[in-house]
Amino acid sequence: MSAEGLPTHAAGSLEEGPLDAFRAAATTGVFEVDPPYIPTAPEIAALADFPDRFSDRELSWVRFNQRVLELAEDPELPLLERTRFLAIFTSNLDEFFMVRVAGLKRRIAADVAVRSASGHLPREVLDRIWVHTTELMQRHATHFADVIVPALEAEGIQLLRWEQLDRDEQKFCKKLFKERVFPVLTPLAVDPAHPFPYISGLSLNIAVLIRDPKSGKEHFARVKVPPIFDRFVALGNQRFVPLEDVIGEHLKRLFPGMEVLEAHTFRVTRNEDLEVEEDDAENLLAALEKELLRRKFGPPVRLEVEQSINDRVLDLLVSELGVTQQEVVRLPGPLDLRGLNDIADLSRDDLKYPTFVPKTHQQLAPVESASPVDVFKAMRRGNVLLHHPYDSFATSVQRFIEQAAADPHVLAIKQTLYRTSGDSPIIDALIDAAEAGKQVLVLVEIKARFDESNNIRWARKLEHAGCHVVYGLVGLKTHCKLAMVVREEPEGIRRYTHIGTGNYNPKTARFYEDFGLLTNDQAIGEDVAHLFNNLSGWSRNASYDELLVAPDSVRNGLIEQIHVEIGNHRSGLPAEIRLKANSIVDEAVIDSLYLASREGVPVKLLVRGICALRPGVPGLSETIEVRSVLGRFLEHSRVFWFANGGAPTAWIGSADMMHRNLDRRVEVLVRLPEQRLIDEIGLLFDLAFDPETDAWTAGPDDVWTRHRGSQHLQELLIGSRKRRGAAKT
């Protein structure tokens, strides 16, 4: 505890030099006047009256994945979309265990018994995680078996087990096994001459108990289900059987002369988070590649087994894998329902969301000719606020980069890449630009979690083409989404800039909800140019006119604006705060929002995933409302809107309200330069918090309750784009 009796929790919290931090915000160069309000020490100390004011971030994430499961359980959604949400639930939980649970286990093993901001020790959090996730995994498996499978069957899509196949289908599977599957399989025995094999993370495996008929001795063997084949074998007429059933029925071919007594599927989740000390490595690429190899051998954190597994076999798995009984989850088969994505991809439009094709933004749509619009001319006519996937990525951001690559007047292109697709036209355009003699700078973040291998490959491809490739700043991930084009024009050099909330990935741009600003604003362009120089060279300019940049000024800048709202409210001026983010965890930001609420400032938070703030707590957060919108698109944008005394301001950018984003990443927020763009952001919040909009609402007890309204935010936005009548992509 600090001298004032406040918990000394995470970096950046209010307790760590609060007045100095708040005053420092006024020197970032973003705000032109001294703030009308700076919290006093007693006001800050009063927050200690609410020691449980922060929800636990890990448990909040579990509640988010519960909301995903509730979408799968929603009978009003199209059936194949519900099936896909079951797959998403599985993959979400896999990553949670690989990263977050693995991290808790590391802290416990290292005896780092530091309480989190929520007041819980790592062991306490881990125990609660297991209670909630085990319940959700059982609920997920039961819903699949008891609801989704029968519902699919009623629609002519049958997910069968081996005993349900007819004779012709069994003969087909026998032939398939003999010709394609059997040659790939490698049974691994366990005996004194054969140690227990390594089980790779997330692989599906069959534990086989066999017996020698001569000696009567029993043996254990493991067979890995090959991931190169479809998870569900198509039998024709939309009938499917799990691949492990086909293998399990033909195990005798793998163990000739032996009796196959039992076969059970199991699956291991391992610690797959990366630990790279790049400042100690001469070559970050080499260090990361080495770490990727180590990842494959991370310690296990979860063992999923079929309910029918033999106790002796389970005891062997537990002993050899080194998991605890708490980490064993018994589930009805089939395990690993990520494969349901293949079922959800079936050509059954009658069981999916109505088709939506992103529209070309009206400012970028050709008026008369059928040829593509000149993006640079459109940007000179006015700033363009893009909202993906409603506005087409291909005819906006992608066309911006492609046109720049082909334009002889373009001198240079500078861009950050955090994640992109394997066949990205963005990459191709940058290569074309470099080969045409343009100066191309690409800042590739090769430490983007689970995309490291892809990013290493593309970094080398860009280097070979002549691009200048840099890897950002030591100790920081570069997560900001920036692209700048330098063009020679009759009146001189002009900068064209794109700043976004999402990655330069044409594939995810079709189903990730994100904002992006295409602008010819020279003040923004100059700021972005300085930032690129900071990232690629030795310059150090921490002051920007139109940007907030982490780790220098995002936290302080946003807190400063929150204080402006408090001051405006005290002065009787319009005051309101509206934030949209994937996660809100940072204690300093949350405490500032609590201070605003205690003053009576209305606060609306639209949060997709983790929210450590407790809304509606008497005396603390009575004016704060927290909502979560989930649906066909993944809500991904980060947006910050402030009433600002009647002259609203809005910011968009890459930063979530988390320690990693505000302290250990390069993040950028840009202030929207026109009132019409700010009004568009305001309309988004109006729709999201409309009482008739379908959403989940958080309560002070960390319980999220679904409010079923008559309208859905995403469907409203789809409808608005259709009504615009813009050209199709």
Structure tokens at 553: 């000024």
- The pLDDT of residue 264 is 96
What is the model's pLDDT at position 178?
Answer: 96
Mean per-residue pLDDT for 178-187?
A: 95
In a domain, 672, yes or no: yes
Residue 2 within a domain? no
Of 107, 132, 155, which residue is a domain's last? 155
pTM value is 0.89
pLDDT interval class at 534 (50, 70, 90): confident
| pLDDT for position 272 | 76
Clarify whether residues 316 and 406 are in a common domain.
Answer: no
Cα–Cα distance for residue pair 98/131, rounded to 1 Å? 17
Catalytic residue of the set 264, 388, 479, 636: 479
Written as six digits, the tokens of 158 are 């049958």
The token duo for 159 is 């997910």
How many Å apart are CA 12 and CA 659, to the nearest integer? 8
**Do 256 and 281 lie in a common domain?**
yes
Residue 542: the pLDDT is 67
Are 449 and 99 a contacting pair, CB within 8 Å?
A: yes
Spatial CA neighbour of 170 closest among 250, 231, 238, 232: 250
What are the tens digits of pLDDT across the range 46-85?
999 999 999 999 999 999 999 999 999 999 999 999 999 9
| Residues 709 and 694 sit within 8 Å (Cβ to Cβ) | yes
- Report DSSP state, residue 181: I
What ranges make up the beta strands (E) of 524-587? 547-550, 577-581
- How far is residue 258's CA from residue 253's CA, in Å, rounded to a whole number? 10
Asked whether residue 306 is assigned to any structural domain, the reply reads yes
Q: Residue 479 catalytic?
A: yes
What's the rounded Cα separation, in Å, for the pair 631 and 77?
10
Interval 396-404 mean pLDDT = 97
Which of 105-114, 303-312, 443-452, 483-492 has the lowest average pLDDT? Answer: 443-452
Tens digits of residue pLDDT in 201-253: 999 999 999 999 999 998 899 999 999 999 999 999 999 999 999 999 999 99
Report how many domains make up the chain.
4
Q: Are 418 and 286 part of one and the same domain?
A: no
Look-up of token digits 């305001």: 682
DSSP character for 354? P
Check which CATH number belongs to the domain holding 386 and give it: 3.30.870.10
Buried b (16+ CB within 10 A) or exposed e, 404-423: bbebeebebbbbbbbbbbee
Q: Are residues 555 and 515 in the same domain?
A: no
Worst-scoring range by mean pLDDT, 293-297, 338-342, 481-485?
Answer: 293-297
CB atoms closer than 10 angstroms to residue 114: 8
Minimum mean pLDDT range among 464-478, 549-563, 605-619, 701-715? 464-478
CA pair distance 75, 497, nearest whole angstrom = 44
Tell me the per-residue pLDDT of 639-697, one tens digit each, with 9 for 90 and over.
999 999 999 999 999 999 999 999 999 999 999 999 999 999 999 999 999 999 999 99
Residue 62 lies in a domain: no
Name the 3-class secondary structure at 470. Answer: strand
Q: How far apart are CA 606 and CA 16, in angstroms?
A: 27
Is 116 in the same domain as 195? no
Examine the domain organization and report whether 627 and 700 are in the same domain.
Answer: yes
Shared domain for 540 and 406, answered yes or no, is yes
**Which DSSP letter does residue 713 get?**
H
The predicted model gives 25-38 an average pLDDT of: 52
Q: Do residue 537 and residue 602 come from a single domain? A: no
**518 and 554 share one domain:** no
List, in order, residues 6 or more apart from 69 with CB less than 8 Å away.
85, 86, 89, 136, 139, 140, 143
Q: Does residue 114 lie within any of the structural domains?
A: yes
Give the model's pLDDT for residue 16.
Answer: 44
- Pairing status of strand 439-444 against strand 468-470: parallel
Domain boundary among 135, 155, 175: 155
Q: Which of residues 129, 155, 181 is at a domain's end?
A: 155
The two tokens of residue 73 are 């359980």
**Whole-angstrom distance, CA of residue 210 vs CA of residue 253:** 12
Residues 455 and 471 in one domain: yes
527/638 same-domain check: no
Q: Between β-strands 204-211 and 259-270, what pairing exists: parallel, antiparallel or unpaired? A: antiparallel
The CATH number of the domain holding residue 209 is: 3.30.1840.10
Q: State residue 124 phi and psi, 5-degree precision.
A: -65, -45
Average pLDDT for residues 712-717, to the nearest whole number?
96
Q: Are residues 473 and 503 in the same domain?
A: yes
Q: Which residue has the higher pLDDT, 629 or 539?
A: 629
Domain hosting 271: range is: 167-335
CA atoms within 13 Å, Cβ hemisphere of 189: 12
Which residue is listed with tokens 């009482």?
691
- pLDDT tens-digit series, residues 329-382: 999 989 999 999 999 999 999 999 999 999 999 999 887 666 788 999 999 999
Indicate whether 588 pLDDT > 90.
Answer: yes
Name the average pLDDT for the chain: 88
CATH label of the domain that carries residue 112 = 1.20.58.310
Cβ–Cβ under 8 Å, residues 654 and 481 = yes
Collapse the DSSP code of 406 into the 3-class scheme (helix H, G, I; strand E, B; otherwise coil) and give the result: helix
User: What pLDDT digit, counting tens, does each position of 302-335 carry?
Assistant: 999 999 998 999 999 999 999 999 999 999 989 9
Any idea how long the chain is?
Answer: 729
